[in-house]
């Protein structure tokens, strides 16, 4: 429920494709049968960020990811990857964890991971060494020679994520990476994913878990029926759906709004005061005004709905989505 008002919003997408961006999707269309699975979709992905790719089932997320990876091709529109068309030339710089995934069941996990690493441009020896290190890092050191069919689901998931990052890709596309994992393993894999972002990789993460999206993503892209509904930083999107309320915790907080120009209403409860902002006023205005009072502010948070609520509202056609579409 907290949001940092001082968090710097990420710059909005530029009008034209920026060759420095790992991914630029510009008005892409894809039709299967008589259905437009992706319709005039535009967005970009930046280095060193996690872009949350959200949407209901069948929204067109997987199709879009496959188009970025050149597994399938758009009918219309442009897709640029590392400044060029998608294709084999980028396969050494990308990593992909599809939703429908597995490992060769009758082959040791280490061999499979080394093979995937070699396919992505590493030498077989390097790929094997890196696979070994990563398996040990995620606690699968004992399972190096185990066949994939003998691994638990959690072990499978870890091995699959390793297959995705084994070549230290500059672009990482992961589809429901933490699905079905227990909290311990999920936390471990989240750290692994954020490590990739922190070393500068662009990460596209499709998820239905809005809590994960809220915590892990720098920006989100919500699509429905192939069309973009929301696009922007998590903070911007939440702010757009905010009801204009600020929750302040502290002492000597004023509840009389006569001295406050930025608030239209104040309600005290449980050691906190909930201020409703006037039209045109910002949380920053209120924060400044409270600084001029004897109030001691311990916590200041713009009340905003979480991403799960925003998801539901946006898909239901909430007009506030227009502001961040």
- With binding defined as CB under 8 A, does residue 130 bind other proteins? no
Minimum distance from CB of 48 to other proteins (Å)?
A: 20
Specify the residue, 19 or 102, whose C-beta has the smaller distance to other proteins. Answer: 102
**Residues 30/79, Cβ–Cβ less than 8 Å:** no
- With binding defined as CB under 8 A, does residue 115 bind other proteins? yes
Could you say which residues in the range 17-56 bind other proteins, by CB under 8 A? 33
Minimum distance from CB of 118 to other proteins (Å)?
A: 6
Minimum distance from CB of 171 to other proteins (Å)?
A: 11
Distance of alpha carbon 255 from alpha carbon 129, whole angstroms:
63
Local structure of 222: helix, strand or coil: strand
The pattern of x and - marking residues 71 through 100 that bind other proteins according to CB under 8 A reads: xxx-------------xxx-xxxx-xxx-x
Minimum distance from CB of 11 to other proteins (Å)?
A: 29
**Residues 200/47, Cβ–Cβ less than 8 Å:** yes
- 69, 165, 223, 248: which one binds other proteins (CB under 8 A): 69
Could you say which residues in the range 157-196 bind other proteins, by CB under 8 A? 160, 163-164, 167
The tally of CA atoms less than 13 A away on the side-chain side of residue 78 is 13
Dihedral of CA atoms 145, 132, 188, 101 in degrees, nearest 10, equals -60
- 50, 103, 203, 230: which one binds other proteins (CB under 8 A): 103
Element (H, E) at 126: helix 124-137
Count of residues of this chain found to bind other proteins when the rule CB under 8 A is applied: 36
The pattern of x and - marking residues 192 through 231 that bind other proteins according to CB under 8 A reads: ----------------------------------------
Question: Across the chain, which distance is largest between two alpha carbons, in Å?
Answer: 74
- With binding defined as CB under 8 A, does residue 57 bind other proteins? no
- What are the structure tokens assigned to 241, written together? 């759906």
| Region near other proteins per CB under 8 A, out of 11-19, 65-73, 210-218, 291-299 | 65-73
Residues 6+ apart with CB under 8 A from 111: none
Local structure of 207: helix, strand or coil: coil
- 26, 36, 40, 119: which one binds other proteins (CB under 8 A): 119
- DSSP notation for 31-98: EETTEEEEEEEEEEE-TT-EEEEE--TTSSHHHHHHHHTTSS--SEEEEEETTB-SSGGGTTTEEEE-
Residues near other proteins (CB under 8 A) are: 33, 66, 69, 71-73, 87-89, 91-94, 96-98, 100-105, 107, 112, 115-116, 118-122, 124, 160, 163-164, 167
């Amino acid at each position: 429920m907290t949001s940092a008002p001082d968090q710097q919003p990420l710059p909005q997408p530029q009008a034209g494709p920026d060759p420095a961006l790992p991914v630029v999707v510009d008005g892409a269309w894809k039709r299967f049968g008589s259905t437009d699975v992706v319709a005039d979709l535009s967005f970009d992905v930046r280095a060193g960020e996690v872009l949350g790719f959200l949407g209901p089932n069948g929204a067109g997320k997987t199709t879009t990811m496959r188009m970025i990876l050149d597994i399938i091709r758009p009918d219309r529109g442009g897709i640029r990857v590392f400044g060029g068309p998608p294709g084999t030339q980028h396969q050494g710089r990308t990593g992909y964890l599809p939703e429908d995934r597995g490992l060769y069941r009758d082959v040791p996990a280490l061999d499979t991971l080394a093979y995937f690493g070699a396919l992505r441009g590493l030498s077989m020896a390097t790929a094997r060494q890196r696979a070994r290190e990563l398996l040990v890092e995620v606690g699968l050191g004992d399972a190096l020679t185990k066949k994939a069919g003998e691994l638990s689901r959690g072990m499978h998931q870890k091995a699959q994520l390793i297959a995705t990052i084994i070549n230290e890709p500059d672009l990482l596309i992961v589809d429901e990476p933490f699905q079905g994992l227990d909290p311990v393993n999920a936390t471990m894999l989240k750290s692994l994913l954020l490590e990739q972002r922190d070393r500068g990789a662009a990460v596209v993460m499709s998820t239905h878990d809005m809590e994960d999206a809220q915590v892990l993503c720098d920006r989100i892209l919500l699509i429905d029926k192939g069309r973009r509904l929301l696009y922007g930083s998590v903070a911007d999107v939440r702010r757009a759906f905010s009801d204009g309320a600020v929750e302040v915790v502290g002492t000597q907080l004023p509840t009389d709004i006569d001295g406050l120009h930025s608030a239209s209403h104040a309600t005290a409860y449980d050691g906190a005061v909930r201020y409703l902002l006037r039209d045109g006023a910002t949380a920053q205005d209120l924060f400044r005004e409270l600084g001029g009072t004897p109030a001691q502010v311990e916590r200041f948070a713009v009340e905003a709905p979480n991403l799960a609520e925003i998801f539901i509202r946006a898909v239901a056609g909430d007009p506030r989505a227009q502001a961040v579409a």
